[in-house]
């Protein structure tokens, strides 16, 4: 498999300038807090909410960076909770009629952040320069499921939310089944709410904890080999190393029940069995952790792609009980059986 290390000079320069860090002189370079072993201290709770979308919107196709006027407009819209342009199509604002379909979350329950990323990019994707996902390989489809409608399809369902039907729990998304969080990744992509990650460090391990479905990746730093490729895991098999002041985490051995990439909570492309993921964590300022990821899967995409997300120091982790025992999934299936029984008994 061809490895890909994207050019980082432009992105690093943009973020460094935004944060007031001079990349050209050591006297201006940001010096991160360090552990007793001398490594950058990445520990803490980090908030990855942002108004900046994963992919560059069509109306910004020729602009890599937002104008100050556009930034002010988007952030004012967010302050007024008028974020329809950045919201999933299934999010609703209007109240529902009594007795109607309850649908998905309305805008009260989602939290897309109040600000764009520090350098005002029009997308989280930094490579390719279009700010868009590369084309899929022939025969590969980006599966798009609705949060409110059934769509018969093929198992396994690799989307995080939504599903293909209500015949079985296997027809529902991974987050609905409380198997994987809808924004926990890996890689981590902003979505929905509770967008917090907590990092812990020792000399030999880093722990990446997402509260969404309580996923914790324990990443060894001792140079050990990856697991045998026959051993597949929901979050893959992660190994970490330090490259200067950047923590690099390489993950393989994802399973066939996960997607190569989920561009949103209701989309999925490819299979995790062919995914090679590289994540980078770098302390960029006292209140900022720069998170970057590169998806390399030549079986799914025609080229690798990279995204960058500056995370901000958070206030704390918030419990996510995943339907408090997942009564939501039970009710979906029970409701479908009740509807079937009612239809059968109706003359």
pLDDT digits 0-9 by tens, 235-257: 999 999 999 999 999 999 999 99
% pLDDT > 90, the chain: 63
Say if 332 falls within a structural domain: no
pLDDT greater than 60 at residue 27: no
Say if 294 falls within a structural domain: yes
Which contiguous run of DSSP H or E holds residue 339? helix 322-345
Say if 41 falls within a structural domain: yes
CA-CA distance, 104 to 125, in Å (whole number)?
27
pLDDT score for 173: 92
Mean pLDDT of the chain: 86
Say if 300 falls within a structural domain: yes
Say if 340 falls within a structural domain: no
In angstroms, the Cα distances linking 132 to 62, 106, 297, 303 are 12, 27, 16, 11
Say if 4 falls within a structural domain: no
CA-CA distance, 316 to 297, in Å (whole number)?
34
pLDDT (tens digit per residue) in 69-99: 999 998 888 877 544 434 444 455 566 666 6
CA-CA distance, 290 to 309, in Å (whole number)?
6
**Which residue, 189, 190, 188, 184, is CA-closest to 215?**
184
Structure token digits, residue 293? 């990821």
Say if 90 falls within a structural domain: yes
Domain that holds residue 114: 9-22+30-321
**Which residue, 212, 166, 139, is CA-closest to 328?**
166
Tell me if residue 341 falls in helix, strand or coil: helix
pLDDT greater than 50 at residue 258: yes
pLDDT score for 13: 45
6-30 burial: b if 16+ Cβ within 10 Å, else e: beeeebbebbbebbebeeeeeeeeb
Q: How confident is the model at residue 10 (pLDDT cuts 50, 70, 90)?
A: very low
- The number of distinct structural domains making up the chain is 1
- Count of CB atoms situated within 10 Å of the CB of 81: 11
Say if 347 falls within a structural domain: no
pLDDT (tens digit per residue) in 171-181: 999 999 999 99
pLDDT greater than 60 at residue 218: yes
Q: Do strands 215-220 and 205-210 pair parallel, antiparallel, or not at all (unpaired)? A: antiparallel
pLDDT score for 109: 74
pLDDT score for 86: 42
In angstroms, the Cα distances linking 179 to 84, 184, 227, 280 are 29, 11, 21, 25
pLDDT score for 105: 65
Half-sphere exposure of 292 (CA within 13 A, CB side): 22
Q: Cα 138 vs. chain centroid, distance in angstroms?
A: 25
Q: How confident is the model at residue 21 (pLDDT cuts 50, 70, 90)?
A: very low
Q: Which residue has the tokens 């199509």?
A: 89
pLDDT (tens digit per residue) in 93-147: 566 666 666 666 666 678 878 899 999 999 999 999 999 999 999 999 999 987 6
211-249 burial: b if 16+ Cβ within 10 Å, else e: bbbebebebebeeeeeeeeeebbebbbbbbeeeebbbbb
pLDDT score for 192: 87
pLDDT score for 262: 96
Q: What angle do CA 288, 290, 291 make, to 5 degrees?
A: 135
Strands of the chain, DSSP E: 44-47, 125-127, 142-144, 196-201, 205-210, 215-220, 237-243, 246-252, 267-269, 276-285, 288-296, 305-313
CA-CA distance, 271 to 188, in Å (whole number)?
17
pLDDT (tens digit per residue) in 280-300: 999 999 999 999 999 999 999
């Amino acid at each position: 498999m061809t490895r890909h290390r994207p050019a980082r000079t432009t992105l690093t320069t943009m973020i460094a300038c935004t944060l007031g860090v001079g990349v050209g002189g050591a006297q201006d370079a940001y010096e991160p807090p360090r552990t007793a072993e001398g490594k950058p201290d990445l520990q803490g709770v980090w908030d990855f909410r942002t108004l900046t979308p994963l992919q560059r919107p069509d109306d910004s196709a020729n602009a890599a960076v937002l104008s100050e006027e556009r930034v002010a407009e988007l952030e004012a819209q967010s302050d007024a909770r008028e974020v329809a342009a950045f919201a999933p199509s299934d999010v609703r604002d209007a109240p529902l009629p009594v007795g109607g379909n309850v649908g998905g979350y309305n805008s009260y329950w989602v939290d897309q952040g109040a600000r764009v990323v520090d350098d005002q990019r029009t997308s989280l994707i930094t490579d390719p320069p279009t700010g868009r996902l590369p084309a899929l390989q022939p025969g590969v489809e980006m599966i798009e499921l609705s949060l409110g409608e059934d769509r018969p399809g093929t198992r396994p369902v690799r989307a995080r939310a939504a599903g293909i039907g209500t015949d079985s729990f296997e027809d529902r998304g991974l987050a609905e089944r409380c198997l994987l969080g809808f924004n926990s990744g890996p890689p981590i992509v902003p979505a929905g709410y509770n967008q917090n990650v907590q990092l812990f460090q020792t000399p030999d391990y880093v722990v990446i904890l997402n509260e969404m479905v309580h996923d914790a990746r324990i990443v060894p730093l001792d140079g050990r080999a990856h697991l045998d490729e026959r051993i597949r895991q929901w979050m893959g098999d992660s190994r970490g190393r330090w490259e200067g002041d950047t923590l690099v985490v390489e993950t393989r051995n994802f399973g066939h029940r996960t997607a190569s990439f989920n561009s949103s909570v209701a989309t999925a492309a490819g299979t995790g069995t062919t995914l090679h993921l590289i994540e980078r964590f770098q302390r960029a300022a006292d209140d900022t952790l720069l998170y970057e990821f590169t998806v390399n899967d030549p079986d799914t995409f025609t080229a690798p792609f990279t995204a960058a997300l500056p995370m901000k120091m958070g206030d704390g982790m918030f419990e996510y009980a995943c339907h408090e025992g997942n009564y939501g999934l039970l009710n979906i299936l029970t409701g479908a059986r009740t509807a079937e029984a009612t239809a059968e008994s109706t003359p």
